[in-house]
């Protein structure tokens, strides 16, 4: 349930309500809005709303209302205003569109540095690159692991771009958070509840991808796991779902973008690379995603897609990515949004070995 405080409630009144919530064995999640504070009182299994009478009479409380959705902290009922995810000068969830780009996998220093410089030049705000790869075959390239993280750290140092990289197992979290600014939970792990708890506890920013066979509600329940630990820096990502259609790798669920924007305050980004599986469709679907209201994009880029160790067929060459950014900017401006200019490079004379 939500305990909605009066606009003139004092700090002491808010603290007293939070204490009463905890004394009842419920968890208190405080959301400080522009006008008033809302305290989410979440029970473990029990209906927290059963406690409502106790709270109605406390000083500073305006009203107590149930949260009707199964996800509580993720719902717009709990937090009507957009949550903002700060990413390299862009407030993701606000007016400006954020663009994350880079290879599917970190393969070598030269591949990563060349891609990083090219995507930054084209206007990307953050760099993606997997070092732990969830591959369908155990014989496919599995990622460079820690050696790849060192390469990502160098790219961050050189370009100033924050790093997004996938975490596959809880044990990887302490190492990853030394190098990575945003932990990606991949589609295959969206319902790995132990991992969701662990990234929630880490308090590290998270990019949570929708499972390829998950409903929008299941995605929001997955986000709820992370939010339940007080970790609020989450971007949700639509990355295509499985349908009967075989002409593309997945089917981009464009509907999910406005649906998510309606149901949750969390920012929503689109991955047109995995959702199509074909570089030739990526730009069109990126445009569609932004037109539909996505707050950002995550796009796979590779200097030589034909030689890529993973997802070459859906990777854009750098010059095609630069064209994507231009087109997406035009779409964003047409709907009263924009693509933020990328912050300046850290160093202008970068050598690629």
Site residues for ligand PEP per CB under 6 A: 104, 130, 134, 186-188, 209, 239, 271, 274
Helix (H, G, I), strand (E, B) or coil at 45: coil
Query: What is the C-alpha to C-alpha distance for residues 327 and 296, in angstroms, rounded to an integer?
Result: 14
- What residue 114 binds from Mn ion, ligand PEP, none (CB within 5 to 8 A, per partner kind)? none
CB of 274 to ligand PEP, least distance (A): 4
**Which residue number, 38 or 104, has a Cβ lying nearer to Mn ion?**
104
Could you tell me how many residues make up the chain? 353
By CB atoms closer than 10 A (0-12, 13-18, 19+), residue 52 is: middle
Q: What is the DSSP-derived secondary structure letter of residue 249?
A: S
Which runs of consecutive H residues, i.e. helices, occur in 293-341? 318-334
**Footprint on residues 310-339 left by Mn ion (CB under 5 A):** 311
Query: What is the C-alpha to C-alpha distance for residues 280 and 267, in angstroms, rounded to an integer?
Result: 27
Query: What is the C-alpha to C-alpha distance for residues 23 and 17, in angstroms, rounded to an integer?
Result: 10
Residue nearest to Mn ion (CB): 104
Antiparallel, parallel or unpaired: β 37-42 and 182-185: unpaired
**Which residue number, 130 or 205, has a Cβ lying nearer to ligand PEP?**
130
For residue 202, what are the β-bridge partners?
Answer: none
Look at the block and give the residue holding tokens 């409903």: 215
- What residue 209 binds from Mn ion, ligand PEP, none (CB within 5 to 8 A, per partner kind)? ligand PEP
**Which residue number, 107 or 224, has a Cβ lying nearer to Mn ion?**
107
Q: Torsions phi, psi of 100, nearest 5?
A: -110, 130
Per-residue contact flags (x/-) with Mn ion for residues 257 to 296, judged by CB under 5 A: ----------------------------------------
Query: What is the C-alpha to C-alpha distance for residues 68 and 62, in angstroms, rounded to an integer?
Result: 19
**Which residue number, 36 or 188, has a Cβ lying nearer to ligand PEP?**
188
CB of 126 to Mn ion, least distance (A): 16
**Which residue number, 75 or 115, has a Cβ lying nearer to ligand PEP?**
115
- What residue 25 binds from ligand PEP, Mn ion, none (CB within 5 to 8 A, per partner kind)? none
**Which residue number, 224 or 311, has a Cβ lying nearer to Mn ion?**
311
**Footprint on residues 77-116 left by Mn ion (CB under 5 A):** 104
Q: Which residues sit at the interface with Mn ion, rule CB under 5 A?
A: 104, 311
């Amino acid at each position: 349930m939500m305990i909605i405080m009066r606009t003139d409630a004092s700090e002491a009144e808010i603290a007293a309500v939070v204490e009463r919530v905890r004394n009842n064995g419920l968890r208190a999640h405080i959301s400080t809005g522009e006008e008033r504070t809302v305290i989410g009182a979440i029970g473990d299994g029990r209906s927290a709303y059963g406690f409502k009478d106790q709270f109605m009479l406390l000083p500073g409380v305006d009203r107590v209302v149930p949260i009707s959705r199964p996800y509580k902290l993720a719902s717009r009922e709990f937090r009507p205003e957009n949550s903002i995810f700060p990413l390299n000068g862009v407030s993701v969830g606000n007016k400006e569109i954020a663009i994350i780009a880079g290879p599917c996998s970190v393969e070598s220093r030269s591949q990563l540095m060349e891609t990083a410089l090219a995507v930054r030049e084209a206007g990307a705000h953050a760099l993606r690159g997997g070092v732990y790869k969830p591959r369908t075959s155990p014989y496919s390239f599995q990622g460079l692991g820690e050696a790849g993280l060192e390469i990502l750290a160098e790219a961050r140092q050189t370009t100033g771009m924050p790093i997004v990289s996938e975490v596959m197992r809880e044990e990887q979290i302490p190492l990853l958070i030394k190098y990575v600014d945003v932990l990606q939970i991949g589609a295959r792990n969206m319902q790995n509840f132990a991992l969701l708890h662990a990234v929630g506890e880490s308090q590290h920013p998270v990019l949570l991808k929708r499972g390829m066979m998950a409903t929008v509600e299941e995605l929001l329940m997955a986000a709820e796991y992370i939010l339940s630990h007080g970790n609020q820096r989450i971007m949700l990502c639509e990355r295509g779902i499985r349908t009967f259609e075989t002409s593309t790798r997945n089917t981009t669920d464009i509907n999910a973008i406005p649906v998510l924007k309606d149901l949750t305050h969390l920012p929503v980004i689109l991955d047109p690379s995995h959702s199509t599986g074909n570089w030739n469709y990526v730009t069109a679907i990126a445009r569609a995603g932004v037109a539909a209201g996505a707050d950002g994009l995550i796009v796979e880029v590779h200097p030589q897609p034909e030689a890529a160790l993973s997802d070459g067929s859906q990777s854009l060459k750098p010059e095609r990515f630069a064209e994507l950014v231009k087109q997406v900017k035009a779409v964003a401006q047409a709907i009263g949004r924009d693509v933020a200019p990328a912050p300046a490079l850290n160093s202008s004379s970068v050598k690629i070995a």
